[in-house]
Structure 1
Amino acid sequence: MKSLAPRSASLLRNLLSKRLEQKLPPNLQVNGATVLSPKSPSLQGLFSSAANILWHSAKDSSHGPLALPTRSEALVGAWGSRCAAAFRPSFSPNYVPLATRGVQTSPPPGPTSFPVASPGKRRPVVAVGMSGGVDSAVSALLLQRAGYEVVGLFMRNWDAQEEDDAGQCSADQDLKDAKQACAHLGIPLHEVDFVRRYWTDVFEQFVAECARGLTPNPDLPCNRHIKFDALLHHALAQGADLLATGHYARLDSEGEGGARRLLRGKDPTKDQSYFLAQVESAPLERVLFPVGGSLKSEVRQLATDAGLLVANKRSSRGICFLGKRRFERFIAQYVPLQPGPFVNVGDGRPVGTHGGLAAYTNGQRARIGGSALPWFVVGKSVGDNAVFVARGEDHPALYSDTALVAPLFWVTGRPPRELLDGREMVCSYKARYVQRMGECTVRLVEGRAGMRSCRGFEKSSFSRVDIPELAEKEGAVHKRLLVRFKESERALTPRQALVLYDGDVCLGGGLLAHPGRTKYEMGESKEVDVLEQAAA
């Protein structure tokens, strides 16, 4: 072996290109369709990425110039083999990538929220759910540095072509960004179509509940049924050992051999454990959250340092299929919106006309003119097709001290021991994603089908919506959670998730069935009535 000083990146790229052209057919086909050729832009980008890796490995080597075999193309040839394998139509657990001699894998900087691959053994294959954003791209980067064999998976869950305003969908741009990130990292990207599965397991239920005047959150069932069921099983069936996503959450186990636990992400402003609370511990055994132990600012800096173009891409917010559209316009394509009255909780009189129950949620500002104080939604009456409103963002009709939660879900598959023993439990909670953690006391109660109250709880008269009753296996009794908040909670909304925490550990929770009687109903009305009269 002789020592060869590093050459320019262009020379390495040309060597790699030449070697790869020898390994690939003139046009690579999958299922009879030409996917790419060795001259395609995606492969040229991969050549550049591989050349840069070789260049920086040589440049940063503590052993001086990069040591190569006498035939200097051998190392480049190994990279060519890896790149050719990267564009196979599927990946296999029997595939063992060629080692890149002379190129050392470097561990991620600082502590990681996932194990580093053991040297000397077959590298585990990790499929990374690539969303086209910075978090999934950096997840793939960190896993590469930790010694894993990484492949990308891009999910397509929504067919925007069926909508009236299909141009609002960002999936095409996300796919483009995911492809660019994978090419830059030198990893393959596979597309997976879950449109039908998403429609049946997530969206149909979402539409049905909107039609009942409820406000469901589709992100929780999407994680449970699509990302950590359909996508996970697809990845494992194709030969991956693990699935990774860019969620800001962490995982650990309770003692040796204990069940997998879901923990809040390190960044409190980006923690996404709320959206993962319906995922049970069994599938989490095969899952990694590489950025869960990092701050968002650290993730963006890693992307910038690595040259990823998505480093400054804006994070997506809100419902995935909604995009930038107004919810009222979107839901009108699936749910008939019947106009009805806005009803003042103070005197029970109509103060305007709403455009349909499904278009409104508790705490939302109602577009009603003629008042110095703005109006806010405090509840709905499905039978009367009415939306209850009150003036002022902090009107006491918006606040409740209690709530009834059902159905329930638990990360470990069952409630904590204190609740099973019939005791109360003090824990932290979130009643919506964008809020600070609060403190509450919870206990399990039993109620039969059709009951709207139980001992120690009376629902608000402004919550006149129908909650689908989900019985236990024996079919007679429902387990419900009675929640008492340390501080009154604003705008509790039926069918939104209330997620419980014990410190950093996400326990699970349930869906809000009804808010308890509001502070306004409990008698805090005299001062408000005077203010309303003055505003009128």
Structure 2
Amino acid sequence: MAKVRVIAAMSGGVDSCVAAALLLEQGYDVVGITMQLWNHKGDGEERFDSCCSLTDVHDARASAHKLGIPHYVVNYEREFKSGVVDYFASEYGQGRTPNPCVLCNSKLKFDHLVDRARALGAEWVATGHYARVIHHGDGRPSELYTGVDGNKDQSYFLFDMRPDNLRRAMFPLGGMTKSQVREKAKALGLHTATKHESQEICFVTGGRYSDFLEKHYPDVTKLTGEIVDRQGRVLGRHDGIHLFTVGQRKGLGAILGGEPRYVFAIQPESRRVVVDSMENLSVQGFTVSSINWLVDPSTVNEERVLSVMVRYRAKPLPCRIRRLENGTYQILLADKARWVTPGQAAVFFDGEQVVGGGFILQAIHEQTAAEESAAKSFGTGTGRVERPESQSLRPTLGQPSADF
């Protein structure tokens, strides 16, 4: 009987290398694919210490050789620039704070890897994400869940996956902790066992996104304007809206002096940065666009209490969701919250299951009487994201069921 072929996305880090090894141990025909996404030579240097670097490509190739599996490097630089990097710059030009990793993980990587899998006769695409998926054999859509390691859970970045792609996804590390993954790599003799993790945006050299924008997207950095309070009084001037994000204090003290002020809102049309005191930053809710549902949308209504994560690793907040006539959604929070930032992803959970998500449009600082009533109707303990101590059911070889 022919083995079931799986495409293993190998970034060159310890996680993706161990994911490929686990699949090999389970009897799959594993083919390693490394996506070349960004050429750092265009920034005047060759990076050896970050995601998408030459070192990563080398480490992926070396790990594949150690495991005895075929390995290919595929160039997706053009697709990455148009689908992720251009979006990154455009969002800053609109006064929003983007999260490029969401588009890269959910859209670019899986869209292209699934196409590559079909070309290679593979049924599955596997990655090293700390997330879990359940596949059903009765026609129901696949379900995405948080990883059991709460400190490494990456389901937040996967909410925007197309359901057809999720149906072919495998996450072998979903039932493991990071320490277990490193121990496994060590036992396998993989040199990535002690490799450090990159915490920066892969295409931003030197760690300063403003320098990157100035070099590659100079028009975005020329949106200078006024700093005003909420009454419209001019307090100073700024060097570009791309330098600010909602909730930010850094950079304002030198300009304004006196009482600490924080970014309350960014108005791209007028190029104004609106500031206020900390206690006035809390929001009652927010609006969301570009929602991607991983469940039947008809099951998501205002009566259903979910939890929402407004940035990666933020505390999940109980919420209700109201669909608006223009196709966007209004999110009503049980309690006021800070750091709700336009452009960031808002991901919805029902317990451990990822229900869907979208991108934050704007904050709601004052509620109508009906919205206040809805907020008061929240129960206690509903919509929390809870992770089990340990749970990892291995897929049966050749069956439509992957790690959970």
TM-score, scaled relative to structure 2 = 0.83
Counterpart of 2:270 in structure 1 is 384
Give, in angstroms, the shift of residue 166 of structure 1: 5.6
Task: Please say if 1:481 is aligned against 2:367.
Answer: no
Give, in angstroms, the shift of residue 274 of structure 1: 0.9
Contact 2:106–2:157 (8 Å) recurs in 1: no
Of residues 258, 279, 292, the one that matches 1:396 is: 279
Contact 2:205–2:212 (8 Å) recurs in 1: no
Counterpart of 2:375 in structure 1 is none
Q: How many residues align?
A: 360
Greater relative CO (CA pairs within 8 A, separation 6+): 2
Contact 2:11–2:57 (8 Å) recurs in 1: yes
Of residues 298, 301, 305, the one that matches 2:187 is: 305
Contact 1:366–1:377 (8 Å) recurs in 2: no
- Residue 329 of structure 1 aligns with an amino acid whose one-letter code is D
**Any residues of structure 2 matched to 1:135-534 within 5 Å, and which?**
135-164=15-44, 167=47, 170=50, 171-253=53-135, 256-333=138-215, 334-336=217-219, 337-338=221-222, 339-345=224-230, 348-351=233-236, 353-367=237-251, 368-369=253-254, 371=257, 374-391=260-277, 395-412=278-295, 414-419=296-301, 423-446=302-325, 478-517=326-365
Counterpart Cα distance in 2 of 1:355 and 1:246: 40
TM-score, scaled relative to structure 1 = 0.63
Counterpart Cα distance in 2 of 1:169 and 1:313: 10
Is the alpha carbon distance of 1:491 and 1:418 closer, same or farther for their aligned partners in structure 2, counting shifts above 3 Å?
A: closer
Counterpart Cα distance in 2 of 1:187 and 1:240: 14
Counterpart Cα distance in 1 of 2:3 and 2:47: 42
- Residue 388 of structure 1 aligns with an amino acid whose one-letter code is V
Q: What stretches of structure 1 of length at least 5 have no aligned partner? A: 1-120, 447-477, 520-536
Give, in angstroms, the shift of residue 167 of structure 1: 4.6
Is the alpha carbon distance of 1:346 and 1:305 closer, same or farther for their aligned partners in structure 2, counting shifts above 3 Å?
A: farther
Counterpart of 1:127 in structure 2 is 7
Is the alpha carbon distance of 1:254 and 1:143 closer, same or farther for their aligned partners in structure 2, counting shifts above 3 Å?
A: closer
Q: What stretches of structure 2 of length at least 5 have no aligned partner? A: 368-404
Give, in angstroms, the shift of residue 289 of structure 1: 0.4
Is the alpha carbon distance of 1:416 and 1:501 closer, same or farther for their aligned partners in structure 2, counting shifts above 3 Å?
A: farther
Is the alpha carbon distance of 1:169 and 1:315 closer, same or farther for their aligned partners in structure 2, counting shifts above 3 Å?
A: closer
Counterpart Cα distance in 1 of 2:88 and 2:62: 33
Is the alpha carbon distance of 1:167 and 1:252 closer, same or farther for their aligned partners in structure 2, counting shifts above 3 Å?
A: closer
**Any residues of structure 2 matched to 1:15-26 within 5 Å, and which?**
none
Superposed CA deviations along residues 472-506 of structure 1, whole A, max 9, x for unmatched, are: xxxxxx22211111221212111211110111111
Counterpart Cα distance in 2 of 1:191 and 1:317: 23
Is the alpha carbon distance of 1:155 and 1:479 closer, same or farther for their aligned partners in structure 2, counting shifts above 3 Å?
A: same
Superposed CA deviations along residues 403-448 of structure 1, whole A, max 9, x for unmatched, are: 1111221124x514242xxx432101101013122211112121xx
Per the alignment, in what secondary structure is the counterpart of residue 278 of structure 1?
coil
Task: Give the percent of matched residue pairs that are identical in Structure 1 and Structure 2.
Answer: 34
Counterpart Cα distance in 2 of 1:371 and 1:321: 34
Counterpart Cα distance in 2 of 1:217 and 1:331: 15
Per the alignment, in what secondary structure is the counterpart of residue 199 of structure 2?
coil
Q: Name the Cα RMSD after superposition.
A: 2.3
Contact 2:135–2:167 (8 Å) recurs in 1: no
Contact 1:127–1:235 (8 Å) recurs in 2: yes
Contact 2:263–2:276 (8 Å) recurs in 1: yes
Give, in angstroms, the shift of residue 372 of structure 1: 6.7
- Residue 318 of structure 2 aligns with an amino acid whose one-letter code is E
Contact 1:346–1:390 (8 Å) recurs in 2: no
